[in-house]
Amino acid sequence: MRVGAPSTAAPVLGAIDAQLRAFRFNGAATRVEERGGLPFYFNEFWTARQRQAHALHEVSYRACFKPQLPAFFIERLTVPGDLVHDPFMGRGTTPLQAVLMNRRASGADINPLSAMLARPRAAAPPLAAIEQRLSEAPWQSGEIENEDLLVFYHPDTLREICALRSWLRQRADAGVFDAVDDWIRMVAINRLSGHSPGFLSVYSLPPNQAVSIDAQRKINAKRGQTPPRRSTAAIILKKSKSLLRHGPAPQAQTMFLTRPATNTPEIGAATVDLIVTSPPFLDVVDYAGDNWLRGWFAELETDNVPIAIHRKESDWVSFVREVFHELARIVRPGGHVAFEVGEVRGGKLALETLVMEAISPLPFQPLGVLINAQTFTKTANCWGVANNAKGTNTNRVVIAQRL
């Protein structure tokens, strides 16, 4: 099935410039600098405070941006009914926010975990159906498949996790796997390990980065801890209630693809009104290593997922150019791309310069670079990163329009 039809909205070339120049945050006006003939806009364009978005977004994934980022561009560059796409959707922040704002949405990611995390939240089942399905699961039938995982889990908890994993596989094999199962798997994946009693594991790193078995042994020894008994069903139900506390997303036309950003034939030519995305930043994040435990539960070989990792700047430029070749096909004339990048290599390399190089031969006109000057970022501070110092908490968004 192909998604989308071209929007009838007129191109808004120049309108985003006027909006950004007029934008004020807590009384602070936007500062504009001209660099190489291109405007750079500096302000706090969206809040840095935690939990300011819809509860459905509260699913962890490494290197994801805040929902306020896509919301900022969706509000200014689309109208209800337009199609918003993210070719590197990660946990699905952009398509989910698009649905919440009454737009059509599509997303793609080469990592199969992405669709598993995004799809259920865009079409959540009723809480009563989730609770009923959890009551039907054969929790006592599980067998421990890998004793090394006992560094994370109490034996009875691990048996329940294995029982759920096996039961979901059996339902899929029997052709009865449905939206309720999809939701339960998504929540279970999100609750596998973390740093509070709301997770199935003993104290570990925050849930967007699963440590290795050896590293968890060291954490346990240092803290003098053993995995406590957790109720798998209770934790999944509690997280489900939390995710749905603001209600489900509106019904919308959606598509979630497990595909590379360079090849999305299911999306029709010139049908996308807005792209909001963030690509892998060179070799900064080890997505496969961070998601190995989630991959185990979902029965995915994460080491075999060809996630883009580039150590040379020239290779990353070539990769981004390939991506924009595909975006040139699917974005309608007058449509926009908001391409979020960050500073890497200790802040010495601003990736927006490489993006400009990548798109220079393609039918896109750069409109400017938005730099969200945040004053506080919880995640960055947890890792000892100074505010506005590195790509982990400095949003640098290249804005371009399809010619």
DSSP 41: E
Question: Tell me, what's the pLDDT at 47?
Answer: 75
Q: Which residue has the higher pLDDT, 387 or 271?
A: 271
If you average pLDDT over residues 237-250, what whole number do you get? Answer: 98
What CA–CA distance (Å, rounded) separates 343 from 392?
Answer: 8
Q: Which residue matches tokens 């405007």? A: 39
If you average pLDDT over residues 71-85, what whole number do you get? Answer: 97
Question: Tell me, what's the pLDDT at 386?
Answer: 39
If you average pLDDT over residues 81-89, what whole number do you get? Answer: 98
Prediction pTM value: 0.91
Average pLDDT, the chain: 88
What CA–CA distance (Å, rounded) separates 263 from 102?
Answer: 26
Residue 378's pLDDT band, with cuts at 50, 70 and 90, is very low
E strand or H helix at 335, and its extent? Answer: strand 331-341
Q: Judging by beta carbons within 10 Å of its beta carbon (0-12, 13-18, 19+), is residue 177 exposed, middle or buried?
A: middle
Question: Tell me, what's the pLDDT at 36?
Answer: 87
List of residues 6+ apart from 368 with CB closer than 8 A: 16, 17, 20, 38, 39, 40, 41, 399
What CA–CA distance (Å, rounded) separates 83 from 103?
Answer: 6
Question: Tell me, what's the pLDDT at 202?
Answer: 98
Residue 363 pLDDT greater than 70, yes or no: yes
Question: Tell me, what's the pLDDT at 375?
Answer: 60
What CA–CA distance (Å, rounded) separates 357 from 251?
Answer: 39
Classify each residue of 158-176 as buried b or exposed e, where b means 16 or more C-beta atoms within 10 Å of its C-beta: bbbbbbbbbbbeebeeeee
Residue 310 pLDDT greater than 90, yes or no: no
Both tokens assigned to 215: 């590293």
E strand or H helix at 273, and its extent? Answer: strand 272-277
Q: Which domains does the chain have, with CATH numbers?
A: 15-119+253-402 (3.40.50.150), 127-243 (no CATH)
Count CA within 13 A, CB hemisphere, residue 194: 18
Give per-residue pLDDT as tens, 102-157: 999 999 999 999 999 999 999 999 999 999 999 999 999 999 989 999 999 999 99
Question: Tell me, what's the pLDDT at 395?
Answer: 83
What CA–CA distance (Å, rounded) separates 236 from 191?
Answer: 7
Q: Cα dist. 240→18, 177, 247, 377 in Å?
A: 41, 18, 11, 26
> What is the chain's Cα-based Rg?
21
Give per-residue pLDDT as tens, 168-190: 999 999 999 999 999 999 999 99
Task: Single out the residue of 186, 169, 176 nearest to residue 120, CA to CA.
Answer: 186
Give per-residue pLDDT as tens, 39-53: 999 999 987 666 679
Q: Say which range, 84-98, 200-214, 234-248, has the weakest mean pLDDT.
A: 200-214
Q: Which residue matches tokens 């600098």? A: 33
Question: Tell me, what's the pLDDT at 343?
Answer: 66
